[in-house]
Amino acid sequence: MTFSITARCPDTGMLGIAVSTKLLCVGALCPFAQAGAGAIATQSFVNPYIGIKGLAYLAGGMDAVTARDLLAAGDEGRDVRQFAIVDNQGRVATYSGVSCVDWFGDHAGDGYAVAGNMLVGEPTITQMVTAFEASRGAHLAERLVGALEAGQAAGGDKRGRQSAALKVVHTEEYPLIDIRVDDHADPVAELRRVWNMYAIDRLPFMDRIPTKANPLGVINRD
């Protein structure tokens, strides 16, 4: 029902997810990320507790593969679940239940994972991989959005388009980027439009708000 990419930036340690589907509000239940712990995309008859429990496991020091195995073993609906995990060291694990709706599949790369189900076909996954690999050195959010665009161009969700989301965490307990397109005729294109605006207008402002290292933040009325 969904296609997503989950990744860690090897240069900055940022963790993030980009996801799109033919359902409302994919950003509410599918992408989970916690600074210093990891990122998880949970989809296909979505079980949000995979994200919630998974982040707790990662925050406790568990690696991605061990967390994946424990999450799958503990979910009675594992045959129809799909999820991808990247931990804070860039270790990756994917899971696609045997009864996910065709076409479904996943790919575990170096510090990233792509997964999708109920897709037009495999090119959605392969083109996302190609786009992400080709964008090394760019901001993680830009790489994630670019990969999502490539997946949509290759077919995406075979039922159509409705929502998309981008979430990136870095050093703080709040997200560095959290953009949701909840209902749109072309959600990935709209996600691109908003991300482009955010990168110019909002992202620089994030350096001014309170952090754990600087609880006051930067107070400037100009």
Interatomic CA distance for residues 193 and 186, integer angstroms: 11
pLDDT of residue 157: 86
Per the listing, tokens 């982040």 go with: 55
Which range among 46-55, 164-173, 181-190, 210-219 shows the weakest confidence by mean pLDDT?
A: 210-219
| Backbone angles phi and psi of 200, in degrees to 5 | -90, -45
Question: Which CATH class name applies to 2-207?
Answer: alpha beta
Does 220 have pLDDT greater than 90? no
pLDDT digits (tens, 9 = 90+) for 86-125: 999 999 999 999 999 999 999 999 999 999 999 999 999 9
Residue 142 identity (one-letter amino acid)? E
pTM of the model: 0.96
Q: Are 141 and 149 a contacting pair, CB within 8 Å?
A: no
Interatomic CA distance for residues 191 and 70, integer angstroms: 33
